[in-house]
């Protein structure tokens, strides 16, 4: 047990080395979110009218931040599935390393990548007019929330990767989970335009809570639809935190047990 | 002393539909090489995976260096090296990166990991390619690196699962040389292979397995004697089949096998090239000039045919993916 962390760091370091050996990976995983910022800002930004001071981009950026960290789920899952496919996992499992180090190390690696991606996106956001107004401390707290949310989701990714095991299928499953999750929310458009039933779904969607929490932390007022009196709408920070804790409490032990039992 | 012991191993997949191991037992004496010989799907990989703590059997016992594999997998992992059918290394990283990483995971210190990596690269003639990503390596180089990775802590017990499958002849020869060197160093080795020739070359003892059970066991000479040693094979025109068969059976002293479709007659012989010359003379006297004639050394197929009465099948292939999904 005393080696859990050091073993995990070795695995994380492996991921960093991979990025160094294939710089394209790093370039494309940062270009994609930047592309989203530009597309949404200039394609939708003009047609979505809002009385938000500073314009749509103020509302948009928290949404895109959350969407991007939510994609960590797919990245983690396919990265792990890739390892499973190559038989590399057998080598790791035949080594006297601590249980779970391989998956813990991967979540660390993906978290590190998220930091970089968030920084690049923030710069792109500022370049297209995003101006958070809440002061350094609250903005930092916002990013901490985003980082933590990505980390929690990457544990779902671990579980998906272990269960599905085929990198191509994992890609599809990842998108199948993250796309509805991010679009069936308040991230890009107000939920008031949705059918009533969907408004409730959107309101309880962890992504909505996260977006609302980030908007709050970045100094925006949240506007709600039909479900404005619901608990998650009233307490987005607490709801987000709760979601993260619950997700981790479920998926960390589940994934580590699944990993220990996989192919044995 | 027996360093590897497997007793009555049973392993099924898909809820019992596939019996990968069906009461398999074997053992390996300290410092010797046992080759587990069998076709695809015979249970070779499953056996290795159980002994190397990657898979739990449904029932049965296994010990490596006196330690129970099922009860104390962690302790076993500290003693063994494993190199599989597929080079289990990170392809995007360099050879050096990989070895240092594995050294760290064996909990060698940083400097020690680096030293060991350099040593192993040198020993397996990979120093020049050390700083290149593995994906640029040839098949033979990958296997050598994979083997190097399994030797980081100088294991007492080494498992090599089909170390030369898929290699070209040159890669195979290189690998054999490397393995022979290792064996001289006193490691206890369990090696699986589909090639009788490989078992012959490397092993002290051979265990032939089929459908999850050991069907024959002994030195390579013993097995070959069981198979009947060399065979004389002649291919002739259709109308000459009957006459040729008579001549061949006379030289062999045993009944011949006739493959009418290929117009091929074969029979065991014990006198080697003398039998070949005799046969040519006898055929020439009656005016038969064979399309092809030669001495064939026993192949795995022959061993199988002789031991089981059926040809080695590919059909019972071990479903790799399903295996991973199996839970127990």
pLDDT in tens, B226-274: 766 788 899 998 888 888 898 988 888 888 888 888 889 988 888 888 8
Here the ipTM equals 0.84
H or E element that contains B47: helix B44-51
pLDDT given at position B311? 59
> Which tokens in the block code for residue A252?
């960390």
Residues whose CB falls within 8 Å of the CB of residue B82, separated by 6 or more in sequence, listed in order: A90, A91, A94, B48, B52, B54, B150, B158, B159, B161
CATH superfamily entry for domain B2-79+155-225+315-325: P-loop containing nucleotide triphosphate hydrolases (3.40.50.300)
Q: Is the predicted pLDDT of residue B327 greater than 50, yes or no?
A: no
Residues A192-251 have pLDDT tens digits of 888 888 888 888 899 999 999 999 999 887 665 556 677 888 889 999 999 999 999 999
Query: Does A262 contact B324 at a Cβ distance shorter than 8 Å?
Result: yes
Residues B269-321 have pLDDT tens digits of 888 888 889 889 998 998 888 889 988 877 666 777 777 666 555 444 344 44
Give the model's confidence band at A30: pLDDT under 50 very low, under 70 low, under 90 confident, else very high. confident
Q: Residue B146: which of B194, B81, B193 has the closest Cα?
A: B81
CA distance B320 to chain A (A): 10
| Percentage of chain A lying above the pLDDT 70 cut | 96
Query: Does B90 contact A84 at a Cβ distance shorter than 8 Å?
Result: no
Rounded to 5 degrees, what are φ and ψ at B300? -55, -35
Burial class (CB in 10 A: 0-12, 13-18, 19+), B177: exposed
> Which tokens in the block code for residue B68?
């129970």
Q: Is the predicted pLDDT of residue B161 greater than 70, yes or no?
A: yes
pLDDT given at position B167? 85
Predicted structure pTM score: 0.79
Residues whose CB falls within 8 Å of the CB of residue B76, separated by 6 or more in sequence, listed in order: B52, B53, B64, B65, B67, B69
Task: Please give the average per-residue pLDDT across B2-28, as a whole number.
Answer: 91
The number of C-alpha atoms within 13 Å of B148 and in the hemisphere containing its C-beta is 29
3-state secondary structure of A137: helix
Give the model's confidence band at A1: pLDDT under 50 very low, under 70 low, under 90 confident, else very high. low
**For residues B207 and B26, is the Cβ–Cβ distance under 8 A?**
yes
Burial class (CB in 10 A: 0-12, 13-18, 19+), A217: buried
Sheet containing B157-161, strands listed edge to edge, beginning at the edge strand earlier in sequence: B80-83, B157-161, B188-193, B33-37, B205-210, B213-218
> What is the domain partition of chain B in residue ranges?
2-79+155-225+315-325, 230-296
Q: Note every long-range contact of A42-51, with CB atoms under 8 Å and residues 24 or more positions apart, other chains counting.
A: A42/A128, A44/A188, A44/A189, A48/A189
Q: Is the predicted pLDDT of residue B169 greater than 60, yes or no?
A: yes
- Whether A49 has its CB under 8 Å from any CB of chain B: the answer is no
Q: Write down the mean pLDDT value for chain B.
A: 86
Burial class (CB in 10 A: 0-12, 13-18, 19+), A189: middle
Give the N- to C-terminal CA distance of chain B in Å, as an integer: 31
CA distance B328 to chain A (A): 6
Burial class (CB in 10 A: 0-12, 13-18, 19+), A201: middle
Task: Please give the average per-residue pLDDT across A3-31, as a whole number.
Answer: 90
pLDDT given at position B227? 67
Query: Does A17 contact B91 at a Cβ distance shorter than 8 Å?
Result: no
B152 neighbourhood in chain A, CB within 8 Å? none
Pairwise CA distance, residues A206 & A201, whole Å: 10
Query: What CATH code is assigned to B230-296?
Result: 3.30.70.100
Mutate to test the interface with B, among A3, A87, A163 (most CBs of B within 10 A): A87
Q: Is the predicted pLDDT of residue A89 greater than 50, yes or no?
A: yes
pLDDT given at position A175? 83
H or E element that contains B26: strand B18-29
Chain A (14-33) residues lying within 8 Å, Cβ to Cβ, of chain B: 14, 17-18, 21-22
Query: Does A91 contact B89 at a Cβ distance shorter than 8 Å?
Result: yes
Of A24-33, A39-48, B89-98, B211-220, minimum mean pLDDT range: A39-48
pLDDT given at position B310? 62
Give strand ranges (E) for B211-251. 213-218, 231-235
- Whether A133 has its CB under 8 Å from any CB of chain B: the answer is no
pLDDT given at position B275? 87
**For residues B258 and B245, is the Cβ–Cβ distance under 8 A?**
yes
Q: Note every long-range contact of B170-175, with CB atoms under 8 Å and residues 24 or more positions apart, other chains counting.
A: B170/B140, B171/B138, B171/B139, B171/B140, B171/B143, B172/B140, B172/B198, B174/B140, B174/B144, B175/B140, B175/B143, B175/B144, B175/B147
Please name every residue paired with B61 in a beta bridge, in sequence order, or none if there are none.
B7
Q: Is the predicted pLDDT of residue A51 greater than 90, yes or no?
A: no
Helix axes A136-164, A56-70, angle to 10 degrees: 40
3-state secondary structure of B7: strand
Give the model's confidence band at A110: pLDDT under 50 very low, under 70 low, under 90 confident, else very high. very high
pLDDT given at position A157? 93
Task: Please give the average per-residue pLDDT across A3-15, as a whole number.
Answer: 92
Query: Does A14 contact B93 at a Cβ distance shorter than 8 Å?
Result: yes
Q: Identify the closest residue of chain B to A164 by CA–CA distance.
A: B325
Burial class (CB in 10 A: 0-12, 13-18, 19+), B128: exposed
Sheet containing B231-235, strands listed edge to edge, beginning at the edge strand earlier in sequence: B257-259, B264-268, B231-235, B292-296
* Rg for chain B, CA atoms, rounded: 23
Q: Is the predicted pLDDT of residue B322 greater than 70, yes or no?
A: no
Q: Residue A218: which of A51, A37, A62, A41 has the closest Cα?
A: A62
- Whether A203 has its CB under 8 Å from any CB of chain B: the answer is no
Residues A168-195 have pLDDT tens digits of 898 888 888 888 999 999 888 888 888 8
CA distance B31 to chain A (A): 21
The secondary structure of chain B in percent helix, strand, coil, rounded to multiples of 5, reads 40, 25, 35
Q: Enumerate the H helices of chain A as residue ranges.
A: 4-21, 23-39, 56-70, 72-85, 88-94, 101-127, 136-164, 167-183, 196-204, 206-217, 231-234, 236-261
């Amino acid at each position: 047990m005393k080696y859990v962390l050091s073993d995990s760091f070795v695995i994380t370091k492996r991921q960093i080395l991979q990025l160094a050996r294939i710089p394209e990976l790093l370039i494309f995983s940062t270009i994609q979110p930047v592309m989203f910022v530009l597309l949404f800002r200039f394609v939708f930004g003009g047609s979505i009218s809002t009385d938000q001071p500073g314009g749509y981009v103020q509302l948009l950026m928290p949404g895109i931040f959350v969407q991007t960290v939510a994609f960590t789920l797919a990245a983690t899952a396919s990265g792990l599935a890739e390892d499973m496919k190559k038989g590399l996992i057998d080598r790791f499992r035949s080594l006297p390393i601590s249980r779970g180090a391989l998956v813990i190390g991967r979540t660390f690696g993906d978290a590190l990548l998220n930091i970089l991606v968030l920084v690049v996106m923030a710069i792109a956001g500022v370049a297209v007019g995003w101006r958070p107004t809440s002061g350094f401390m609250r903005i930092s707290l916002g990013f901490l929330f985003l980082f933590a949310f990505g980390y929690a989701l990457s544990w779902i990714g671990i579980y998906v990767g272990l269960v599905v095991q085929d990198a191509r299928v994992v890609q599809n499953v990842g998108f199948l989970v993250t796309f509805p999750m991010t679009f069936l929310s308040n991230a890009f458009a107000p939920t008031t335009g949705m059918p009533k039933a969907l408004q409730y779904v959107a309101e309880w969607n962890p992504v909505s809570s996260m977006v609302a929490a980030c908007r709050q932390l970045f100094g925006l007022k949240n506007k709600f639809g039909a479900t404005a009196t619901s608990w998650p709408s009233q307490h987005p920070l607490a709801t987000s935190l709760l979601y993260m804790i619950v997700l981790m409490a479920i998926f960390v032990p589940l994934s580590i047990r699944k990993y220990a039992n996989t192919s044995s | 002393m027996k360093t590897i012991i497997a007793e009555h191993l049973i392993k099924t997949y898909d809820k019992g539909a596939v019996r990968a191991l069906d009461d398999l037992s074997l053992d390996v004496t300290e410092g010797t090489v046992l080759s587990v010989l069998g076709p695809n799907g015979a249970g070779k990989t499953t056996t290795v995976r159980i002994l190397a703590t990657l898979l739990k059997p449904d029932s049965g016992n296994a010990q490596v260096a006196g330690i129970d594999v099922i009860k104390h997998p962690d302790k076993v992992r500290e003693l063994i090296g494993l190199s599989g059918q597929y080079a289990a290394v990170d392809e995007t990283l360099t050879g050096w990166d990989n070895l240092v990483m594995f050294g760290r995971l064996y909990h060698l210190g940083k400097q020690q990991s680096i030293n060991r990596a350099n040593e192993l690269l040198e020993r397996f003639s990979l120093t020049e390619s050390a700083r290149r990503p593995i994906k640029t390596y040839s098949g033979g180089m990958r296997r050598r690196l994979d083997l190097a990775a399994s030797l980081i802590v100088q294991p007492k017990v080494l498992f090599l699962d089909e170390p030369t499958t898929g290699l070209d002849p040159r890669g195979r020869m290189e690998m054999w040389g490397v393995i022979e060197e290792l064996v001289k160093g006193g490691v206890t080795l369990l090696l699986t292979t589909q090639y009788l020739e490989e078992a012959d070359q490397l092993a002290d003892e051979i265990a032939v397995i089929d459908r999850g059970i050991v069907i024959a066991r002994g030195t390579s000479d013993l097995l070959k004697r069981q198979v009947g040693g060399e065979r004389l094979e002649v291919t002739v025109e259709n109308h000459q089949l009957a006459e040729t068969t008579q001549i061949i059976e006379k030289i062999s002293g045993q009944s011949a096998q006739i493959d009418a479709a290929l117009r091929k007659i074969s029979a065991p012989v014990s006198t080697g090239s003398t039998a070949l010359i005799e046969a040519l003379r006898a055929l020439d006297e009656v005016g038969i000039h064979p399309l092809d004639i030669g001495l064939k050394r026993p192949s795995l197929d022959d061993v199988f045919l002789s031991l089981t009465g059926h040809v080695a099948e590919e059909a019972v292939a071990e479903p790799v993916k399903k295996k991973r999904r199996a839970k127990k």
